């Protein structure tokens, strides 16, 4: 099992709930495709399962499509998001959603992965309180 570090960014989903954003490079090189199952270990007592959502579609080899196969328009490069209601609650309980405008809280995780699974363990944060 390989291990590395990843930084995720707290984001509003627009309806009063929160998610974690994955940057474009990590989305393309680490997760590769939407729908990958991710286990987030947030504390000794709390872990949450979610999937990579949003972002660019990929082919069966994990390569991102440059354009929409139906419309032929180029995709805007966008990283994936990690979301669940439990994750949103944890973000709010820890006040990570209370950040300065345009300066969201960054959360640091260790990544343990194999070919089929991703486990991200919370380590620390850079919390930019309002």
What mean pLDDT is predicted for residues 3-19?
A: 91
Question: Is the pLDDT confidence value at 93 over 70?
Answer: yes
Predicted local distance difference test score (pLDDT) of residue 91 = 96
C-alpha distances in angstroms, 119 versus 3, 46, 70, 110, 113?
10, 13, 34, 8, 6
Q: Which secondary structure element, helix H or strand E, spans residue 93, and what is its range?
A: helix 85-93
In tens, the pLDDT along 17-47 reads 999 999 988 888 888 887 888 999 999 999 9
Burial of 95-117, coded b for 16+ CB within 10 Å and e otherwise, reads ebbebeeeebbbbebebbbeeee
Which residue from 3, 23, 28 is spatially nearest to 113, judged by alpha carbons?
3
Number of domains making up the chain: 1
In tens, the pLDDT along 110-127 reads 998 766 679 999 998 877
What mean pLDDT is predicted for residues 92-110?
A: 93
Question: Which CATH number belongs to the domain containing residue 74 in this structure?
Answer: 2.40.330.10
CA 3/CA 34 separation, integer angstroms: 21
């Amino acid at each position: 099992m390989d291990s590395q570090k990843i930084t995720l960014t707290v984001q509003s989903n627009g309806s009063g709930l929160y998610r974690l954003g994955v940057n474009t490079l990590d989305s393309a090189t680490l997760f590769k495709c939407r729908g990958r199952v991710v286990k987030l270990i947030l504390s000794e007592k709390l872990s949450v399962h979610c999937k990579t959502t949003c972002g660019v579609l990929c082919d069966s080899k994990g390569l991102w499509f440059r354009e929409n196969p139906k419309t032929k328009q180029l995709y805007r490069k966008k990283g994936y998001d990690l979301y669940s209601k439990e994750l949103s609650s944890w973000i709010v309980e820890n006040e990570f959603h209370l950040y300065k405008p345009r300066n969201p809280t960054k959360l640091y995780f260790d990544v343990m992965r194999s070919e089929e699974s991703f486990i991200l363990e919370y380590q620390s944060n850079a919390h930019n309180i309002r």
